[in-house]
């Protein structure tokens, strides 16, 4: 196990290097020169050159790339170009609000999706199964933007069940007051595709011989579905779940912007708007790292849920 983990961590190096190169060249190619914005409304070439020198963007590309690599290795990305706030502080303070929304969302969405998937797979082909699938297909076809606009208007403004937007100081207030509607929207958006996918995984298992054998032995239907079927269907479910988590942090930027949640996704948009390369670099590298780490975690979890899996 330890050797496997070390080998996987070692394999991260070329992936991270690829990410670094991609981010660096993309930003330098399409990012624009921030000095012209930072210099203000009225500035001369000398002032612009001074800013470029201080930001280090006047250095040859290979020097800038080397600095970037050193920043990744030391996990010190310096300060934001537009606010001078330390990048580490930006990440630390924005991560909490994002996790406040994403963690409950992932947990609730997974429980509901798995539960419903088992239920509709059990009554496959029935009217209930077909109705649920039709609802899921319709739900899948609607953009998240529509959900946000409609739910914010109806549930927050018209019915007054939630605040239209906001964020406070208390974790519990943020979780139960300000995150409720964003989580509800997240659930509506994520349950439909997950339910369809998980139903397929369950259906693959439900026709297997071991299920027939269990029934023949008189095992209860509940035990068959929740223990035997779910355990075997869990590997693709875990893969799907783990692959989605890092993306959720960034992908919730629309929800964060509409509900004024000071999270990571909103910060990325702000950084791109401001050509704030240190923040973009840090978030991209950390998300890449998180993706690789969750993949590793998924592989380790396979072993935990199914001892037949061999880690090589």
Q: Which residues bind another protein (CB under 8 A)?
A: 30-45, 47-48, 50-51, 54, 79, 82-85, 90, 93, 149, 152-153, 156-157, 160-169, 177, 180, 257-262, 266-267, 270, 275
Q: Rounded to 5 degrees, what are φ and ψ at 118?
A: -65, -40
Q: From the CB of 119, what's the least distance to another protein, in Å?
A: 32
As a whole number of angstroms, the distance between CA 113 and CA 106 comes to 10
Query: Which residue number, 23 or 242, has a Cβ lying nearer to another protein?
Result: 23
Question: For residue 151, what is the DSSP state?
Answer: H
Q: Which residue has 């300060």 as its token pair? A: 79
Q: From the CB of 287, what's the least distance to another protein, in Å?
A: 19
Query: Which residue number, 205 or 267, has a Cβ lying nearer to another protein?
Result: 267
Q: From the CB of 83, what's the least distance to another protein, in Å?
A: 5
Q: Are 166 and 137 in contact (CB under 8 A)?
A: no
As a whole number of angstroms, the distance between CA 75 and CA 179 comes to 30
As a whole number of angstroms, the distance between CA 183 and CA 133 comes to 22
As a whole number of angstroms, the distance between CA 191 and CA 199 comes to 12
DSSP state string for 46-70: HHHHHHHHHHTTTS-HHHHHHHHHH
Q: From the CB of 192, what's the least distance to another protein, in Å?
A: 24
Q: Rounded to 5 degrees, what are φ and ψ at 259?
A: -105, 10
Q: Which residue has 């079927």 as its token pair? A: 229
Structure tokens at 164: 């239209």
Query: Which residue number, 49 or 221, has a Cβ lying nearer to another protein?
Result: 49
Q: Rounded to 5 degrees, what are φ and ψ at 79?
A: -120, 155
What is residue 86's three-state secondary structure? strand
Q: Which residues pair with 79 in a beta bridge?
A: 86
Q: From the CB of 149, what's the least distance to another protein, in Å?
A: 6
Query: Which residue number, 152 or 294, has a Cβ lying nearer to another protein?
Result: 152
Query: Which residue number, 31 or 236, has a Cβ lying nearer to another protein?
Result: 31
Q: From the CB of 143, what's the least distance to another protein, in Å?
A: 14
Residue 308 to residues 198, 297, 302: CA-CA distances in angstroms? 22, 17, 9
Q: From the CB of 3, what's the least distance to another protein, in Å?
A: 44
Q: From the CB of 20, what's the least distance to another protein, in Å?
A: 22
Query: Which residue number, 169 or 209, has a Cβ lying nearer to another protein?
Result: 169
Report how far apart the first and last C-alpha atoms of the chain are (Å, whole number): 9
Q: Rounded to 5 degrees, what are φ and ψ at 173?
A: -65, -45
């Amino acid at each position: 196990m330890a050797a496997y983990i070390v080998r996987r961590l070692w394999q991260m190096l070329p992936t991270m290097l690829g990410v670094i190169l991609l981010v660096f060249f993309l930003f330098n190619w399409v990012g624009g020169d921030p000095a012209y914005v930072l210099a203000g409304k009225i500035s001369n070439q000398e002032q612009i050159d001074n800013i470029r020198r201080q930001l280090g963007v006047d250095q040859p590309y290979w020097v800038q790339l080397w600095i970037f690599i050193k920043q990744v290795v030391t996990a010190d990305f310096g300060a934001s170009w537009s606010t001078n706030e330390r990048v580490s502080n930006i990440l630390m303070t924005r991560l909490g609000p994002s996790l406040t929304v994403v963690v409950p969302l992932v947990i609730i969405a997974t429980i509901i999706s798995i539960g419903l998937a088992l239920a509709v797979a059990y009554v496959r082909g029935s009217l209930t199964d077909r109705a649920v699938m039709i609802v899921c297909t319709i739900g899948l076809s609607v953009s998240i933007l529509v959900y946000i606009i409609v739910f914010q208007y109806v549930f927050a403004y018209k019915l007054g069940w939630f605040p239209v937007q906001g964020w406070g100081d208390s974790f519990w207030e943020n979780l139960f007051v300000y995150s409720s509607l964003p989580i509800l929207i997240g659930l509506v958006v994520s349950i439909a595709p997950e339910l369809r996918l998980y139903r397929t995984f369950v259906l693959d298992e439900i026709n297997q011989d071991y299920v027939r054998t269990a029934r023949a032995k008189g095992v209860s239907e509940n035990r068959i579905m929740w223990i035997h079927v779910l355990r075997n269907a869990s590997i693709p479910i875990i893969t799907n779940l783990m692959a989605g988590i890092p993306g959720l942090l960034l992908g919730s930027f629309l929800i964060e912007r509409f509900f004024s949640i000071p999270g990571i996704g909103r910060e990325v948009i702000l950084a791109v708007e401001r050509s704030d390369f240190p923040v973009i670099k840090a978030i991209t590298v950390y998300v890449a790292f998180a993706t690789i780490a969750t993949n590793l975690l998924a592989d380790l979890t396979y072993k935990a849920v199914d001892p037949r899996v061999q880690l090589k």
